[in-house]
Amino acid sequence: MVKDMRTYRTNINQLLVLGLILLVLAVQAGCGAKPAASTQPGEAQNQPAPAGPPVTSTSGEEGEAVLDQAGQEAAVVPDAAGPEDSGGGGVPGVANGGGKSASAPGKGASRTADPAGLPSETAPASFPERPTDPGFYERTDSQGGVDTTVIWLTPEYLEAQGQQVTSEQAADLNNNFVFNLTFDTHSGDLLSFDMAQAARLEVNGLDAGPGAWQLVSQNSHHPEGQLRFMNPVSGEPVENLRLTISNLRGVAVREFVWDW
């Protein structure tokens, strides 16, 4: 009986020691574990970290892909050239001799298209004294079933029509070559004609490069717009202009010339 009691006590002591060891191990394991992040009620747990802002490539290659701050692929947004500032939206209502309307370009029109199609500044042109007679600036053509009226817009022309010309408009019209074009036809859609491609200007025999075309009136039978060209003869007196429009309604070339 005494022997059984000793055996029982020994077993109890061993169990206590084992329990104490397990308790110590449990405490150590609890101290080493990272606390779980708390979430508000209704929030989903284990949300991925938000990606950083995309990193734009500096290589200049269109369509190249780069990695954002989270290591995810992001598309490169290429530099966009702004729309061409053609100087349209001027002050309407200036009647010319042919009953059409012509207007000076709006603000900001001193910016024009270079051969790459980007805005650029042009150097001042040098002119002999220009006539004040508005008829000097107007030209007409009636071929291929299309009546065409071209007006070379200058400060002298607009002032002769009674329009107030601002210093900004005068500088623009003196530094660039701007023409107001109106067309009249009884059939067909003239809006589909690529005027920017078909029109060319020579100044003193030098090509002024491609022009910028902006519609003022989008009537398919009676469109109106403005053509703008850079000055190719900076510092040289301008004595001759030759504007041509090719292949409009089967007419190989329409030619409009100013000499003085």
Mean pLDDT of 59-85: 37
pLDDT confidence bin for 45, thresholds 50/70/90: very low
Q: Which two tokens stand for residue 60?
A: 């200049």
> Is the pLDDT confidence value at 175 over 60?
yes
Q: What is the 3-state secondary structure (H, E, C) of the chain?
A: CHHHHHHHHHHHHHHHHHHHHHHHHHHHHHHHCCCCCCCCCCCCCCCCCCCCCCCCCCCCCCCCEEECCCCCEEECCCCCCCCCCCCCCCCCCEECCCCCEECCCCCCCCCEECCCCCEECCCCCECCCCCCCHHHHEEEEEECCEEEEEEEECHHHHHHCCCCCCHHHHHHHHHCEEEEEEEECCCCCHHHCCHHHHEEEEECCEECCCCEEEEEECCCCCCEEEEEECCCCCCCECCEEEEEEEEECCEEEEEEEEEC
Please indicate, yes or no, if residue 189 is contained in any of the structural domains.
Answer: yes
- The reply to whether 82 falls in a domain is no
Query: What CATH number has the domain bearing residue 105?
Result: 2.60.40.10
Q: Average per-residue pLDDT in the chain? A: 73
Mean pLDDT of 12-25: 79
Residue 44 has pLDDT above 80, yes or no: no
Domain that holds residue 206: 94-259
Q: Is residue 187 part of a domain?
A: yes
Does residue 248 fall inside a structural domain? Answer: yes
Count up the domains in the chain and report the number: 1
Looking at residue 227, its pLDDT comes to 98
More confident residue, 233 or 123: 233
Encoded tokens for 160: 């002769």
pLDDT given for residue 31 in this prediction: 61
Residue 35 domain flag: no
What does the pLDDT read at residue 12? 76
**Residue 205: predicted pLDDT:** 96
Q: What is the pLDDT of residue 239?
A: 92
48: phi then psi, degrees, rounded to nearest 5: -70, 150
Q: Please indicate, yes or no, if residue 58 is contained in any of the structural domains.
A: no
Cα–Cα separations (whole angstroms), residue 225 to 127, 162, 183, 216, 244 = 25, 21, 9, 5, 15
Taking alpha carbons only, the member of 56, 52, 53, 59 closest to residue 75 is 56
Q: Is residue 75 part of a domain?
A: no
Check residue 109 and give its pLDDT. Answer: 37
Confidence of residue 48 (pLDDT cuts 50, 70, 90): very low
Asked whether residue 14 is assigned to any structural domain, the reply reads no
Q: Average pLDDT of 188-213?
A: 96
The confidence score (pLDDT) of residue 236 equals 84
pLDDT in tens, 117-169: 433 455 566 777 899 999 999 999 999 999 999 999 999 999 999 999 999 99
